[in-house]
Amino acid sequence: MFKTPSLATALKASTVAGLAAAVLATGVPLEITRSYAEAVNVQAPAVPSFANVVDAVSPAVVSVRVESRIKPASDDGNGFSFDFNGRGFDDLPDDHPLKRFFKQFGEQGPNGGEGQDGQQRPPRHFGERGPGPGGPGGPGRLRPVAQGSGFFISEDGYIVTNNHVVSDGSAFVAVMNDGTELDAKLIGKDPRTDLAVLKVDGKGKKFTYVNWADDNNVRVGDWVVAVGNPFGLGGTVTAGIVSARGRDIGSGPYDDYLQVDAAVNRGNSGGPTFNLNGQVVGINTAIFSPSGGSVGIAFAIPASTAKDVVADLMKDGTVSRGYLGVQIQPVTKDIADSLGLSEANGALVVSAQDGTPGQKAGMKAGDVVTAVNGETVKDARDLSRRIGAMQPGKKVEVSIWRDGKAQSLTVELGTLPADQKDASTDDSDQPQEPQAPASEKALADLGLTVGPADDGKGLQITNIDPNSDAADKGIKAGEKITSVNNQDITSADDVVKVLNQAKKDGRTRALFQIQSKDGSRFVALPINSQG
């Protein structure tokens, strides 16, 4: 029979509940005796969970297995193959230490023959995928050479990954999150941005795919989720925040990476980094790590860069980029002062190659590109990205700063060559080792000693004060000065004349064009009294 609790009992229960509430509120433990045991039920604080994002995007993320066909130079019948600088195993002398070693390994090792335990073992063909060109008796075997990550960008099977993941491969396999393996075909790759596109045949199946995020809405501090195939584990999820934007890691002219602190390791390359809406904000491509593992500094190709490149690769298998044909360098504060610019923005033209769109339009060394089609150019990388993103044949308005005035040029862009070469290393076009010209003069305030160049163009630097600003800026003996403040010089007196004029114009620095065996560059040096 149910008995109604007394008032005292009710008050006691109320007191216990009140004390428990006090413990939760203050965090101070109280020694109390509870009449009734209750299950612990903690109200979790409102923190983001990534489970819904992961559930939605995981089917769109794949592991990418890359294989390369290796044709054996020799096969001893035990599954052992060997190639050494184009020489097969049988080509080595009988007393060659490598032949003795590999023969022993082939007879007793794991590749075939009789093993250490005395059991006969069949050969192991790593990465072999059945009969055919890569199978037994074929011209070569498919062996794994790389593994990475990727993701579906369309329902009909296009996959985005990194160029460095697929660059050495001849066969590709996409492994889905449910373990399904699908052969993939390489559609195209772009080494300059480290992007590549694969395609699988789903035989009518529609794949779960993801969309690109809008870079303009990505902020430092936003949560991100990385999904990929670290160390071949597959289907691994890590989380972090966007740590920085616009990172230049020295990998190329189009560096503009997102930095994230989500754990990214080997095998994550080519995998996506998502925002909390399940949109791709970046493609994981590199990590900074003294140890080789994640230390919380990873770099992702931003969606704005990847979106256009991937679209071109899906359409044509290649990427066509606009081309000016000028060599550029950043505008430092010192260079801006030497040119009379109020801010250190834009890209300084070091040289305009003959016959290129920039040269035909009138661009020349010493120009500073300040804007393209009215949009301000922040720096040299910004100019490279802007021009590269435009279609060849397009006419653009290029704003430049020349001789202390703003000017405008119209340039019809060319097509960036597929194999754009670096500056010439032909010794005939480069300055020779330091020599002692017949007539030298010391520019003491610059810390330089100069003389006529052998080719009559510019001044040869024959000596340099190691404590000078010129030495601090990396100028070396044996290099040439070809111009000062964009004026050609052939003597030390020419230099003094230009510097004195710059002082009269209120400049504190002058712009020296320096020619070395590695090419041409501009260096700003302080102006002092010359004479």
Residue-level pLDDT, tens digit, the chain, 531 residues: 444 454 444 444 444 444 444 444 444 454 545 556 678 777 766 667 899 999 999 999 999 999 987 655 544 444 444 444 444 445 555 555 444 444 444 433 333 333 333 343 333 322 333 333 344 444 567 788 889 999 999 999 999 999 999 998 899 999 999 999 999 999 999 998 999 999 999 888 999 999 999 988 999 999 999 999 999 888 999 999 999 998 888 777 788 899 999 999 989 999 999 999 999 999 999 988 877 788 899 999 999 999 999 999 999 999 989 999 999 999 999 999 999 998 999 999 999 989 999 999 999 999 999 999 999 999 898 898 899 889 899 999 999 999 889 999 999 999 988 655 332 323 333 333 333 344 567 787 888 888 888 777 888 998 888 888 888 988 988 898 989 998 888 888 888 889 988 888 888 888 999 988 888 899 999 887 444
pLDDT for the residue numbered 290? 79
> Is 469 found in the same domain as 431?
yes
> Is 116 found in the same domain as 92?
yes
Q: Is 413 exposed, middle or buried (0-12, 13-18, 19+ CB in 10 A)?
A: buried
Task: Yes or no: say if 213 and 279 are a contact pair by the CB < 8 Å rule.
Answer: yes
pLDDT for the residue numbered 35? 53
Residue 358 domain flag? yes
Q: Could you list the residue range(s) of the whole structural domain that residue 23 is in?
A: 1-42
Our CA angle for 418, 420, 422, nearest 5°, is 160
- For the whole prediction, is pTM greater than 0.85? no
> Is 89 found in the same domain as 123?
yes
* Rama region for 127: left / alpha / beta (φ>0; ψ in -120 to 50; rest): left
Residue 210 domain flag? no
Task: Yes or no: say if 387 and 356 are a contact pair by the CB < 8 Å rule.
Answer: no
pLDDT for the residue numbered 401? 95
pLDDT for the residue numbered 458? 86
Residue 259 domain flag? yes
Lookup: tokens for 314: 């899906």
Residue 243 domain flag? yes
Residue 193 domain flag? no
CATH number of the structural domain spanning residue 288: 2.40.10.10
The phi, psi pair for 460, rounded to 5°, reads -80, 130
Residue 85 domain flag? yes
Boundary-marking domain end, from 415, 437, 453: 415
Residue 288 domain flag? yes
> Is 271 found in the same domain as 328?
no
Task: Yes or no: say if 513 and 479 are a contact pair by the CB < 8 Å rule.
Answer: no
Cα–Cα distance, 42 to 50 (Å, whole number): 20
Task: Yes or no: say if 159 and 197 are a contact pair by the CB < 8 Å rule.
Answer: yes
Q: What's the domain count of the chain?
A: 5
Q: Assign 3-state DSSP to the chain and report helix, strand, coil percentages, each to 5.
A: 20, 30, 45
Residue closest to 160 by CA, chosen among 320, 59, 307, 262 = 307
Residue 209 domain flag? no
> Is 330 found in the same domain as 307?
no
> Is 406 found in the same domain as 327?
yes
pLDDT for the residue numbered 527? 84
Residue closest to 370 by CA, chosen among 395, 402, 327, 394 = 402
> Is 76 found in the same domain as 30?
no
Which residues are catalytic, by number?
164, 194, 269
pLDDT for the residue numbered 368? 95
pLDDT for the residue numbered 442? 78
What long-range pairs does 235-243 form, CB within 8 A, spacing at least 24?
Answer: 235/58, 235/61, 235/63, 235/177, 236/268, 237/50, 237/54, 237/58, 238/262, 238/263, 238/264, 239/50, 240/296, 242/218, 242/281, 243/297
Task: Yes or no: say if 306 and 212 are a contact pair by the CB < 8 Å rule.
Answer: yes
> Is 371 found in the same domain as 351?
yes
> Of all helices (H) and strands (E), which one includes residue 76?
none
Boundary-marking domain end, from 114, 139, 164: 139
pLDDT for the residue numbered 70? 66
Lookup: tokens for 212: 């690109």
Find where tokens 């040096």 sit: 525
CB count within 10 Å of CB 392 equals: 14
> Is 345 found in the same domain as 292?
no
Find where tokens 């054996």 sit: 72
What are the DSSP calls for 475-522, one per residue?
--TT-EEEEETTEE-SSHHHHHHHHHHHHHTT-SEEEEEEEETTEEEE
> Is 387 found in the same domain as 345?
yes
Boundary-marking domain end, from 139, 171, 187: 139
CATH number of the structural domain spanning residue 502: 2.30.42.10
